[in-house]
């Protein structure tokens, strides 16, 4: 199973690197939204610091949502998804490999660039650290939960709107606690509670989301 996970992970990474223009879209979107936002408000340090947690987290959430459609769509179109479901390896392990590749290509770059955007938005050092930790815990959950929605809509042409309606309500707790962790850190208060909540949600998502996604894919394929 570990060998199957490793090979599928490498395969998805190689395929994504062949289409670098698509790979860069979520990161460019994330940077543009955060950097353009100060132009619409009074760009004073106090105002930017107050708005930064929500702006950065909402931008990250939308950037991940923008990239979710390619998680299973290409495999569905070329028949690779059927081959994965016929594999002797557990489908949930293969799903976890694809979600891992999605996070490495989408979530991890957001985590890396976020500190620079946090400083651009006048966040103090403590808040930037909280931003990094909250995104490290939160963005994998966005990919795992998003995979469930993608598996339900992969056979739907132009299912982006339907995917958003399914996924966005499930993203709200992550958004609230992630942004709140950065906001509380800006005031010099401890953020242990928020980070523990995000960690617990990540553990729950790792346990249940691959199984739910595998079941949804089999249901979709049987139609």
pLDDT at residue 23, as a whole number: 80
Contact of 42 with 64, CB cutoff 8 Å:
no
Per-residue confidence band for 187, with pLDDT thresholds at 50, 70 and 90: confident
The pTM for the full model equals: 0.91
* Per-residue pLDDT reduced to its tens digit, 61-95: 999 998 888 788 777 777 777 788 887 888 899 99
Per-residue confidence band for 114, with pLDDT thresholds at 50, 70 and 90: very high
Per-residue confidence band for 158, with pLDDT thresholds at 50, 70 and 90: low
Tell me how crowded residue 106 is: count the other CB atoms within 10 A of its CB.
Answer: 27
pLDDT at residue 66, as a whole number: 87
**How many domains does the chain fold into?**
1
CA pair distance 173, 43, nearest whole angstrom:
28
pLDDT at residue 54, as a whole number: 92
pLDDT at residue 192, as a whole number: 93
* Per-residue pLDDT reduced to its tens digit, 37-62: 888 887 788 888 889 999 999 999 99
| Domain extent for 13 | 2-221
**Is residue 223 predicted with pLDDT exceeding 70?**
no
- Which residue has better confidence, 71 or 179? 179
pLDDT at residue 138, as a whole number: 95
pLDDT at residue 8, as a whole number: 86
CA dist 16 → 13, 22, 98 (Å): 5, 8, 11
Contact of 130 with 198, CB cutoff 8 Å:
no
pLDDT at residue 166, as a whole number: 85
CA dist 137 → 55, 146, 196, 198 (Å): 18, 15, 9, 6
pLDDT at residue 204, as a whole number: 95
């Amino acid at each position: 199973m570990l060998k199957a996970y490793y090979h599928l992970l490498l395969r998805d990474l190689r395929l994504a690197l062949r289409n670098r223009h698509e790979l860069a879209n979520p990161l460019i979107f994330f940077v543009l939204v955060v950097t353009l936002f100060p132009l619409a408000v009074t760009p004073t340090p106090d105002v930017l610091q107050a708005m930064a947690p929500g702006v950065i987290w909402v931008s990250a959430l939308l950037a991940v949502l923008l990239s979710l459609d390619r998680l299973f769509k290409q495999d569905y179109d070329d028949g690779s998804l059927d081959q994965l479901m016929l594999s002797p390896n557990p489908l949930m392990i293969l799903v976890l490999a694809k979600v891992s590749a999605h996070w490495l290509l989408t979530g991890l770059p957001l985590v890396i660039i976020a500190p620079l955007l946090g400083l651009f938005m006048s966040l103090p050092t403590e808040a930037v650290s909280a931003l990094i930790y909250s995104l490290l815990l939160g963005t994998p959950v966005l990919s795992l939960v998003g995979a469930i929605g993608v598996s339900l809509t992969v056979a739907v042409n132009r299912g982006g709107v339907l995917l958003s309606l399914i996924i966005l309500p499930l993203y709200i707790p992550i958004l609230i606690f992630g942004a709140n962790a950065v906001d509380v850190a800006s005031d010099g208060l401890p953020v242990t509670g928020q980070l523990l909540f995000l960690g617990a949600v990540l553990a729950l998502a790792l346990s249940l989301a691959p199984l739910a996604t595998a079941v949804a894919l089999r249901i979709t394929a049987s139609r």
